[in-house]
Amino acid sequence: MIMKKIISLFLLLVISLNAQTNIKLQKQIEEYSNQDNMQSAVWSVYAKYVDDKKPLITLNSNKALAPASGLKIITSGVGLELLGKDYRFFTRIFYDGKLEDGILNGDIYFVGGGDPTFGSSRVEGSSDLDQLSNEIYSSFKKLNIKIINGNIYADALKYSDNAIPNNWYWIDIGNYYGTSNTALSLNDNLYELYFKPGKAKGDIAEVLRTEPAIPNLTFTNYMKTGAKGSGDNGYIFSAPNLFNAVLRGTVPAGVDEFSIKGSIPNPPLFAAQFLLRILNENGIKVNGTAKILETPKSYSLEKMIFEKASPTLDKIVYIINKKSFNFYTEMLLKEIGFVIKGEGTTEAGIEVVSKFLKEKNISTKGLNLFDGSGLSRSNAITTVTFVQFLDYMYNSKSFIPFYNSLGITGDSEDIAAFGNYGKGTSLEKNGRVKSGFIGGVRSHQGYVKDKEGRTISFSFIANNYEGSSSAVSKIHEKIMIELAELKK
């Protein structure tokens, strides 16, 4: 009897201490919300143990806010669950007509299968443009094709011709983070634009070249020279199928060359031009031009010249979340729509994602999505939805590749951007995080383990704060540290 009383008293003490810790942490959250930079903000905070329904901390957790790139965890997680970690995309080249004695009287068809990594070395297992050129040429050489009396057609009809989500901003869509999402893609659908800065601040920065060269692309140049060390403050204003881009902003003085990245205006056409060029340069004469295929066509496997598989989806998701790569995320969203609904559109992908959340009993209250990457400022989602999704993924078949794709706090060797988070604290190499940032938006979502090894899922979103995003990030980091310090 005495022993039972001792145990009961001990349990009451533990529960009391735990409750006091949570109250203290909740109070700290409220103090953060009253800081000068947060008073005008809408700030939402939610965290809980993955094996417990009760929140540890909560503030405005049912407010639907713009999450920026934090949204990528939803798109990538749903993609892994529906398509599987070993899913691959395929790009193929076919011919029609008659091939005889090295002469093809017919056309070539470059058929996109939605591979976002095609012609890019960004993902382990993919080939860059030089490697890809050799692979394609070798496949033509094996068939002894020497002359092509026909055109090179780009077939990007698997996905809709609406190359970008409708709610993206003009300032974004000409730049590398706003590239077109086309079924036939090449080199991440981007180019590098090189400038020669002027000698003095305010001088016009001269356009030198693009790499790779983009046929017929011209520039109206208002780019100026900024101060030494001022970095990339240049913008490319353009849109899909627009071959004159307007350049504004500054690039830094004090260097011979400086480059920024832009979005290729018509990636399928560029891919067809790329194929035409490598064939001609390698002695295969093409008596035709590069064109876009306008109507769907069926192909015979007997007339397939080339086939390339993408790396597996888990490797693509690794880059999506570690490097916050918009292009791969939007391509995955379209593929989700294509596979599940038969429609390679952003809208179909969003429908599938929303339905998935509902079917898994994840809150969709206030959910309003316009893309998969979070670049749209019109997206709205609650921290409750994020945490419930993280809880679902924790128990899913896709948890390991999903978890491994998140940034590691306090690990300077990790390719994500959290190497300084929680250094010298319980958070170091403990948290797994995906952040988001666009103008006026800062978010952090992920997992952290407490002192006893129990996993906590969390989501913090701030909209319309004053001052720097780094100040908001510091607050979020402090909360992560406090969660990592929790114990029963």
Same-domain pairing of 214 and 327:
no
Q: Over range 445-470, report the average pLDDT.
A: 97
Domain identity same for 51 and 150: no
Q: Let me know if 396 is exposed, middle or buried by CB neighbors in 10 A (0-12, 13-18, 19+).
A: middle
Q: Is residue 114 domain-shared with residue 245, that is, in the same domain?
A: no
Domain shared by 75 and 155, yes or no: no
In a domain, 3, yes or no: no
What pLDDT, on the 0 to 100 scale, is given for residue 22? 77
Q: Is residue 150 in some structural domain?
A: yes
- The tokens for 275 are 């194929």
- Answer yes or no: do 375 and 456 share one domain: yes
Share of the chain above pLDDT 70, in %: 95
The span from the CA of 383 to the CA of 63, in Å, is 8
| 331 & 425 share domain | yes
Q: How many CA atoms lie within 13 A of 281 on its CB side?
A: 11
Residue whose structure tokens are 């780019």: 223
User: Hunting for tokens 């810790």 — which residue is that?
Assistant: 21
The tens digit of pLDDT for each residue in 345-398 reads 999 999 999 999 999 999 999 999 999 999 999 999 999 999 999 999 999 999
The pLDDT tens digits for 104-138 are 999 999 999 999 999 999 999 999 999 999 999 99
Number of domains forming the structure of the chain: 3
Tell me, yes or no, whether 10 lies in a domain: no
**Do 319 and 387 fall within a single domain?**
yes
Residue-level pLDDT at 8: 45
The residue from 309, 334, 365 where one domain ends is 309
Helical H segments across 342-382, by residue range = 346-359
Asked if the peptide bond before residue 212 counts as cis, ω within 30 degrees of 0, the response is yes
Neighbours of 54 (CB within 10 A): 8
Per-residue confidence (pLDDT) for residue 12, from 0 to 100:
42
Task: Verify that 385 and 324 share a domain, yes or no.
Answer: yes
Mean pLDDT rounded to a whole number for the chain: 95
Condensed to tens digits (0 to 9), the pLDDT of residues 394-422 reads: 999 999 999 999 999 999 999 999 999 99
Return the pLDDT at 247.
99
- Provide the token pair at 176: 């590398």
- Same structural domain for residues 444 and 303? no
Provide the pLDDT confidence category of residue 23 given band limits of 50, 70 and 90: confident
| Torsion sign over Cα 253, 256, 259, 264 | positive
Please tell me the predicted confidence (pLDDT) of residue 375: 98
Beta 290-292 vs 152-155: how paired, if at all? parallel
* Interatomic CA distance for residues 456 and 460, integer angstroms: 13
- Averaged pLDDT for residues 26-40: 92
Tokens standing for residue 64: 């639907």
Residue 7 lies in a domain: no
Q: Is residue 2 part of a domain?
A: no
Confidence of residue 10 (pLDDT cuts 50, 70, 90): very low
- Give me the CATH number covering residue 395: 3.40.710.10
Q: What is the CATH number of the domain that holds 138?
A: 3.50.80.20
Q: Are 366 and 62 in contact (CB under 8 A)?
A: yes
Rg (C-alpha) for the chain, rounded Å, is: 26
Residue ending a domain, choose from 243, 275, 309: 309
Tell whether 319 and 432 lie within a shared domain: yes
| Confidence band for 17, pLDDT divided at 50, 70 and 90 | very low
Q: What is the pLDDT of residue 9?
A: 42
Query: Which residue is it, tokens 């989602």?
Result: 381
Contact 387/46 with Cβ under 8 angstroms? yes
Give the pLDDT score at 365: 98
In whole angstroms, give the CA distance from residue 145 to residue 173: 39
Q: What is the pLDDT of residues 319-331, one digit of tens each?
A: 999 999 999 999 9
- Mark out the alpha helices in 216-307 (DSSP H runs): 267-281
- Assigned domain for 5 exists: no
CA–CA distance, 276 with 136 (Å, rounded to integer): 11
Cβ–Cβ contacts within 10 Å for residue 206, how many? 14
Pair 271, 373 in one domain? no
Count of residues making up the chain: 488
CB atoms within 10 A of CB 200: 8
- Tell me the per-residue pLDDT of 297-314, one tens digit each, with 9 for 90 and over: 999 999 999 999 999 999
Give tens-digit pLDDT for 257-298. Answer: 999 999 999 999 999 999 999 999 999 999 999 999 999 999
Q: Is residue 11 assigned to a domain?
A: no
Asked if residue 30 is part of any domain, the answer here is yes
User: Rounded to an integer, what distance in angstroms lies between the CA atom of residue 128 and that of residue 212?
Assistant: 12
Q: How far apart are CA 342 and CA 415, in angstroms?
A: 35
- Domain around 238: 170-263
Domain termination site, one of 309, 336, 366: 309
pLDDT in tens, 148-179: 999 999 999 999 999 999 999 999 999 999 99
Predicted confidence band of residue 5 (pLDDT cuts 50, 70, 90): low
Same domain for 369 and 476, yes or no, is: yes
